[in-house]
Amino acid sequence: MISLIQRYNFWGLLSLVNNLMITKLFFPRAKLIRSPFYIRGIAFIEIGKNFIAGVGLRMDAFPDKEKICIRIGDNVQINDYVHIGAVDSLTIGNNVLIASRVFISDHNHGFYGNSSEQSIPEVPPAKRKLSFASVCIEDNVWIGEGVGILPGVRIGKGSIIGCGAIVTRDVPECCLAVGNPARVIKKYSFKTKKWENI
């Protein structure tokens, strides 16, 4: 069996102990949040039991009115340099695994869709009115390295999002989606017990 010193080395073990103390002091339900991290609007974020986060976690919650706008379920593991931002509603279910360098947001700076309200390029992006649509990542989802999940997306229970995918529309339950924009290429069959091509 590998000892903690073999796994982390002396300085790594000291850093781990420090991170554990900070986690338990500020986030008692979490298991471990590694430093450095940046969390803005902590009053509007709900974190479930056994949450683990790698270094460089950034969470921004800034709703119009006082309400929880980021909800993270139990047993969620987020790896390094993940950015999660919400102004309205962003939910991550239970037992979700998120790789490094993932971006998840329920909002944009401006309006660019088919609505009557449109943003003008002459207005600096930081001054454009925020548009938003709820994001929901259901239970048992695995999100690969470098993924972007954009406003208005629901990722169904048990699905996998492949590395580098940009998710712009819903992904059904138990599907594998890849690409930019992400598209479903496989679905798990409970009949054959295999991931089958679509």
174 lies in some domain: yes
- What is the model's pLDDT at position 64? 86
| Distance in angstroms (rounded) separating the CA atoms of residues 84 and 94 | 16
38 lies in some domain: yes
DSSP 134-146: -EEE-TT-EE-TT
- What is the model's pLDDT at position 14? 81
Range of the domain at 183: 30-197
12 lies in some domain: no
25 lies in some domain: no
Phi-psi region of 56 (alpha: psi -120 to 50; beta: other; left: phi over 0): left
48 lies in some domain: yes
**Active site (catalytic) residues:** 109
Q: Which residues of the chain have pLDDT under 70?
A: 1-8
- What is the model's pLDDT at position 15? 85
Q: Which two tokens stand for residue 77?
A: 């593991």
* Domain count across the chain: 1
Q: Which two tokens stand for residue 128?
A: 């454009």
- What is the model's pLDDT at position 102? 98
- What is the model's pLDDT at position 190? 96
4 lies in some domain: no
First to last CA, the chain: 43
17 lies in some domain: no
Kindly report, residue by residue over 115-149, the tens digit of the pLDDT.
788 999 999 999 999 999 999 999 999 999 999 99
Task: Give the CATH number, domain containing residue 108.
Answer: 2.160.10.10
Kindly report, residue by residue over 89-111, the tens digit of the pLDDT.
999 999 999 999 999 999 999 99
98 lies in some domain: yes
Entry pTM = 0.91
Q: Which two tokens stand for residue 26?
A: 């500020």
Chain centroid offset of residue 154 CA: 12
